[in-house]
Structure 1
Amino acid sequence: METLFKVIDDTANILRNKLNCTYLEAVSETGENLFEKAILQEEVDDVTKKRVEKEYERVDIEKLSKESIRKAFQLAVLKGMKEATQPNHEMTPDAVSIFVGYFVQKLMEKKDEFSILDPAVGTGNLLTAILNGNSKKVRAYGSDVDELLVKLSYVNANLQHHEMEFFNQDSLQPLFVDPVDVVTVDLPVGYYPNDEGASTYRLRAEEGHSYAHYLFIEQSFRYLKEGGYLIALVPNNIFSGDEAKKLHAFIKEEGFIQGLLQLPLTMFKKEQHAKSIFIVQKKGATATPPSQALLVDLPSFSNKEAMSDIMSQINEWFTAKQ
């Protein structure tokens, strides 16, 4: 994994200087080269090509596990994001991605295959982590408004040999996706600037811009099958404030809350940015409310003993749910 990261990093720096682009753009370019086993950039001269090819020879990507590839690619993307000024260029923490993957696996346990959508797919790290923790056949879809992030997702999925369909668009507009079994999303928090686009949503604001994170929840329900699950990373304060009454009413009418797991505050630089894992099932013929919702304050992921206790409680909850 470390060798692959070093190869991606070194070649991205070489390409960045030759292509006069950002480091993140160069990561996507070198990732495509690795997948295609060729230097695809026509602007690159022969001397630079030989330098890059020599770097690629240091690693045999076909012999690496999908998780090793994901983690190496993730490290390069994280490095690039530190340089980037765009506020939407953030990645779901690794431990959280794997934890969400565990919930997807448990909830889809009885299915032979299933479909999943991430409407704010970003670099694809959350979605590929979920797929890497799952052995079943999965139809996966990702959508994001940011062109560079979608390209990074596409490269990330290709390197890990995951079949996925990506859409580079405003995910709050209609998607060309059939309803899925699971929607998983790290909610983009803030205001949605397209008031006309928001006008079709029940969770729109009466005045001014609407909350994007509210609209993403409603959009997720639109693309869920009956009985399907939404697993969302939500801000801890999502259910507070005057606007939250509407959200409460919407969720009560459309679904059954299965669980709310507050992530450790130590994961976040500021407490106001803290998030929780919110699990809700869309109503349908096969959907039933749990006898008791799973409400948990998660300990630090590095505290193995406390996490072991929590996992035992969660497994007991799943056993009782069945």
Structure 2
Amino acid sequence: MSPSTLEDLFTLFNETASILQEELNCTYLEALAETGENLFQQSVLQEELSELTLKRLKKSYESFRPDKYTAEELRKAYQLAILKGMKESVQPNHQMTPDAVGMLVGYLVDKFVQSTNFRLLDPAVGTGNLLTTVMNHQVNKKVTAIGVDIDDLLIHLSFVNANLQEHQIELFNQDSLEPLFIDPVDAVVADLPVGYYPNDVRAQDYELKSSEGHSYAHHLFIEQSVKHTKAGGYLFFIIPNGLFESEEAPKLHAFLKEQAHIQGILQLPMTMFKNKQAAKSILILQKLGGDILPPKQVLLVNIPTLSKGQDVERMLRNIDIWIKENK
């Protein structure tokens, strides 16, 4: 991907979003969702614009030829614009999974999920960046997906993201821990929202509810995801490193022992995080069922700093060897 392609696309998203932001008197992220939809529909959908704005937008949109770009190019440019908008927005839940992590999860999904036609769920889909990164890294596979998020702006951005990249994603704007009316999926990916779940009444329906006070949202997300995965299906979670060290950890251990095999834990490099407390890992589970056997040994990896190319290649080779030996 040439830097100029990315720059041109970002400029198009950014400039047209800024025009709409001013004209519609809305936030940059809202305007970005609007301009993304205009680009997908190849027309200006907002009716309340001045003649001059209409002309400016049409002139900018004329240069956009979706077939000129790959899905990854569109995702990256749109992601850059979203990141710009998130810097201006004060909402703490607007956080995006770093690209390098998304690509690594995409690589792992491609290696573990052998089927050439499968369904994928992201129960904390946000802007759709992690989900579409993973879909873009599936080699010669047909993937359809489901995304759930409680934030209506993030779901709107996710919808535009999916359309621009021409991905088949069904999106639900709801609390992901309320009942999900979906068929079981083959795989789950999620950057788990870490913190407390405020709805104590709903939490009562979960095995991993806390004995007192609010329950951990990230524990409930794991349980909800396992529930909606087919037997033998894989789950890939981005987790806080201290997941198995909290006072609720014994309950989580017991739940996982009953429901899934831990296939692997890959610790992300410390250089990616501001401090030790913020550090994360990728947890890989396989749901029990039928004749599913545990791996001979769990895949444990300390991921090297991603700028060290040779170390990263060596790590990927070791993962490949592990998969061949344990499949």
Q: TM-score, normalised by structure 1?
A: 0.98
Deviation of 1:53 (Å): 1.3
Secondary structure of 1:287's aligned partner:
coil
Q: Does 1:191 align with 2:196?
A: yes
Q: Give the aligned CA root-mean-square deviation in angstroms.
A: 0.8
Q: Does 1:222 align with 2:227?
A: yes
Deviation of 1:206 (Å): 0.8
Indicate the residue corresponding to 1:162 in structure 2: 167
Q: Does 1:116 align with 2:120?
A: yes
| Whole-Å separation in 1 of the counterparts to 2:211 and 2:313 | 45
Q: 2:266 touches 2:281 (CA, 8 Å); kept in 1?
A: yes
Q: Sequence identity, in percent?
A: 56
Secondary structure of 2:189's aligned partner:
strand
Q: Does 1:256 align with 2:233?
A: no
Match of 2:136 among 132, 136, 142: 132
Deviation of 1:191 (Å): 0.3
Alignment of 1:34-53 (within 5 A): 34-53=39-58
| Whole-Å separation in 1 of the counterparts to 2:116 and 2:314 | 30
| Whole-Å separation in 2 of the counterparts to 1:159 and 1:215 | 32
Secondary structure of 1:115's aligned partner:
strand
Secondary structure of 1:239's aligned partner:
helix
Q: Does 1:83 align with 2:88?
A: yes
Q: 1:258 touches 1:290 (CA, 8 Å); kept in 2?
A: yes
| Larger displacement relative to structure 2 (148-157 or 55-64) | 55-64
The aligned amino acid for 1:117 is L
Q: Does 1:72 align with 2:80?
A: no
Cα distance per residue 1:176-212 (max 9 Å; x no partner): 2100010110000000000001000010011110000
Q: 2:113 touches 2:234 (CA, 8 Å); kept in 1?
A: no
Q: 1:8 touches 1:30 (CA, 8 Å); kept in 2?
A: yes
Q: 1:123 touches 1:150 (CA, 8 Å); kept in 2?
A: yes
5+ long unaligned stretches in structure 1? none
The aligned amino acid for 1:14 is I
Q: 1:3 touches 1:59 (CA, 8 Å); kept in 2?
A: no
Deviation of 1:57 (Å): 2.3
Indicate the residue corresponding to 1:20 in structure 2: 25
Indicate the residue corresponding to 2:308 in structure 1: 303
Q: Does 1:57 align with 2:31?
A: no
Q: How many residues align?
A: 321
Secondary structure of 2:102's aligned partner:
helix
Q: 2:195 touches 2:218 (CA, 8 Å); kept in 1?
A: yes
Indicate the residue corresponding to 1:11 in structure 2: 16
| Whole-Å separation in 2 of the counterparts to 1:229 and 1:93 | 22
Q: 2:190 touches 2:236 (CA, 8 Å); kept in 1?
A: yes
Alignment of 1:201-216 (within 5 A): 201-216=206-221
| Whole-Å separation in 2 of the counterparts to 1:129 and 1:293 | 26
